[in-house]
Structure 1
């Protein structure tokens, strides 16, 4: 699949005057070159830093590791460049999204969340936000949406995880802002190379960097991005007060991994397209969802909005027992949760308490050779038919 086919070259240059995706990923957030220094400086492991004995922390940006860290600042600059806003990174995606909800919402506020989004966020809303006096509403990603009158914050996840529905962000932002509300977009599945919600009218972007953004299945990370100084200050203060910061080594690993994001996503998208077509053609597989399939319900919006399709798809094998047999038979598909890594994985979401069918599978495509992956999935399905 041509990952740029949904944007003309002229549109792409206007959106990204500093170069293409690969160029931006390789150079994002790097300091100016210094002879004898590495391209990406090593992680700074420090809790306290030396202070000026007379003026204290006023003379240097680093005073204590919880509010700030040089390695963390470089990563935030890099993700900010890709998302098109100012970024703050968190210890995990869940820390970022719960930090957003708790920092922005107060007792008496109303929040609208995706009914088909990441299950732990919905559980947090009903268990914690509602207990704090926040009115919690839910709506499917693809709609219909209720009136936004009186709503303080609308959070959408698009493409949704795990169902992969997509919402028109420009149209939604117009409605949300007309009602005086804020729009936050969970960009985990798409990544900033798949879509830039701030360009489409969102006030905030939140995402898990644990998944495709860093892509090596070796760290936990979350982030928030915005173009609003007021929101940035509020989120920064919340993070400092709660201490939900990533360690220096995780921040360094994440920045290192960004350089290959364009390459990884290209192969993952190609693999997802091949597997989606394979699965859709089989009578023993149902409910295949991938926004890049022309007959997928999300395709009309996704083909206009996404710059590239995700490397994640979903389908149903009918029962938990058949999913287990499929995973036993597969050589290249590992049973694991999360998504976006180098290795192809499959996750039966119902085993985590998610409200999906027993045989529902979210499959995350890795970077294996497409022909090998198609052959392996075909053989594993045949063995369980």
Structure 2
């Protein structure tokens, strides 16, 4: 099914089997208790285990992933569930050095204490050294914040040959830009805080897998650990998903144009935009995404660019309707002090570029 078909049918997903007089939009179910006389089997029983608004969101996410999905209260909630449900003492896990740093912190501060060994490897050289001895391989492509690429299908084949599981963090691309499960991944995780919701007003994440045993294990983890999403946040995410394709089309088109212009600017170095790469992994992506990274001369120059441009929101995270940017070195990422991660929003392209050009070093007064 094409991305366009997925996006179109998502808007009418709830209409299937809808009874006459029922609301077109899924209602928010605010309940911790349910009417439960007699045998509790087969009906909602308690708010930590069941919620109709979660179910509606999971149906929408599952439609986009073309696989069963489970919602979590943040992207890290989804990552934690996938890792803790799959790992045991004595296992080894491979994690990218240049992916989202909190995943590494989780491994170092918590998994290690439970007897899980974490090994680090750069995304660009992820398959060098092989995958023998790893229970789980965790991959992020394009990586955040460096936007390095890795061939998911090739990695999946090698990981499976070595007897491991491949988990792919697909936050930077969304299911409308890349579907790791179709490429052989066992589990996909993502932060729906970013583009899927798109309005920078909530935290949400999800896990998707076509492996029934893994799905059951992760669902049990959520139920027992209590990492559940709020129903109102689930409803807002569901609403955001309905405009995901529309927002992405503007964001990606603008990012492609802006990346090309930044690449020619004398103040910009080490520009990275996946759509301008000739990497073999581009074949797995529907587009180049909406994230751009580049380096300016120094920390001061980068901060001045970010804070003086009236159409750039200085903020962490990405994928919202507002164009935003930050220096990732401030969080400890192994990047230059002047490294900037730019998330392109939905502002009109020429107006956005004019504001950026004025804020870049060398602009005429």
TM range (shorter): over 0.9
Partner of 2:292: 313
Instruction: Report if the CA contact (8 A) 1:211-1:338 is conserved.
Output: yes
Distance change (3 Å), C-alpha of 1:358 and 1:29: farther
Instruction: Report if the CA contact (8 A) 2:14-2:24 is conserved.
Output: no
* TM-score, length-scaled by structure 1: 0.91
Deviation sequence 1:78-137 (CA, Å, 0-9, x none): 101101111111110011101211111111001111111000111111111111111111
2:94 alignment partner, SS class = strand
Partner of 2:219: 236
RMSD after superposition = 1.6
- The counterpart of 2:328, out of the listed 346, 349, 356, is 349
CA apart distance, 1:354: 2.3
- The counterpart of 1:338, out of the listed 306, 314, 317, is 317
CA distance in 2 between partners of 1:338 and 1:379 (Å): 24
Instruction: Report if the CA contact (8 A) 1:30-1:74 is conserved.
Output: no
CA apart distance, 1:328: 2.8
* TM-score, length-scaled by structure 2: 0.96
Instruction: Report if the CA contact (8 A) 1:29-1:76 is conserved.
Output: no
Partner of 2:67: 85
CA apart distance, 1:33: 2.9
Partner of 2:41: 58
- The counterpart of 2:140, out of the listed 136, 157, 160, is 157
- The counterpart of 2:268, out of the listed 262, 273, 285, is 285
Tell me, yes or no, if structure 1 residue 135 matches structure 2 residue 135: no
Q: Which runs of 5+ in 2 are unaligned?
A: none
Tell me, yes or no, if structure 1 residue 248 matches structure 2 residue 213: no
Distance change (3 Å), C-alpha of 1:29 and 1:348: farther
Partner of 1:105: 87
Partner of 2:248: 265
CA apart distance, 1:207: 0.5
- The counterpart of 1:221, out of the listed 197, 204, 220, is 204
Distance change (3 Å), C-alpha of 1:28 and 1:379: farther
CA apart distance, 1:201: 0.4
Deviation sequence 1:281-300 (CA, Å, 0-9, x none): 0111111100111xx3xx32
CA distance in 1 between partners of 2:109 and 2:122 (Å): 20
CA apart distance, 1:34: 3.1
CA distance in 1 between partners of 2:102 and 2:243 (Å): 29
Instruction: Report if the CA contact (8 A) 1:319-1:359 is conserved.
Output: yes
CA apart distance, 1:278: 1.1
Partner of 1:9: none
CA distance in 2 between partners of 1:312 and 1:172 (Å): 23
Q: Which runs of 5+ in 1 are unaligned?
A: 1-14
Partner of 2:19: 34
CA distance in 1 between partners of 2:14 and 2:287 (Å): 23
